[in-house]
């Protein structure tokens, strides 16, 4: 399977998602370390949103790659799919992260 171009493209998408999410998290951590009293809510919110949405796309692709085994109870991929799905809900659902970011943008773009 790994020799098929369509599979390699899927792996590339998964890798880009993973690296993008990691960079967003590192940026938020860096911003927090260098905040000097400034709030870093927007950076943290973006890291949570990008990280959890990317994680979901990655595990969804993994399920697809595993075929029937990917949705079979007892398979680690199926377990991860259910676990990662929850990340988009708790500690601030994705919609709530977007609200936080939207408010931040409106507040900071006002003249």
Ligand X SMILES: Cc1cc2nc3c(=O)[nH]c(=O)nc-3n(C[C@H](O)[C@H](O)[C@H](O)COP(=O)(O)OP(=O)(O)OC[C@H]3O[C@@H](n4cnc5c(N)ncnc54)[C@H](O)[C@@H]3O)c2cc1C
Residues that bind ligand X in the complex, under the rule CB under 6 A:
86, 89-90, 93, 95-96, 99
12 or 86: whose CB is closer to ligand X? 86
Of all residues in the shown chain, the one whose CB is closest to ligand X is: 95
Active site annotation includes 91: yes
Least distance (Å) between residue 33 CB and ligand X: 26
23 or 86: whose CB is closer to ligand X? 86
Give residues with Cβ within 8 angstroms of 2, minimum separation 6.
8, 11
Residue 102 vs residues 42, 53, 66, 96, 107: alpha-carbon distances, Å: 9, 17, 37, 10, 9
> How many angstroms separate the CA atoms of 40 and 30, rounded?
10
Least distance (Å) between residue 89 CB and ligand X: 5
């Amino acid at each position: 399977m790994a020799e098929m171009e369509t599979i390699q493209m899927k792996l590339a998408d998964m890798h880009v998602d993973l690296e993008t999410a990691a960079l967003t998290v590192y940026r938020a951590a860096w911003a927090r370390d260098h905040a000097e009293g400034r709030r870093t809510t927007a950076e943290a919110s973006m890291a949570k949103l990008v990280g959890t949405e990317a994680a979901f796309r990655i595990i969804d692709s993994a399920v697809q790659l595993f075929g029937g085994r990917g949705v079979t109870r007892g398979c680690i991929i199926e377990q991860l799919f259910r676990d990662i799905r929850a990340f988009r809900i708790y500690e601030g659902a994705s919609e709530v992260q977007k609200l936080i970011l939207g408010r931040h943008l409106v507040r900071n773009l006002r003249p």
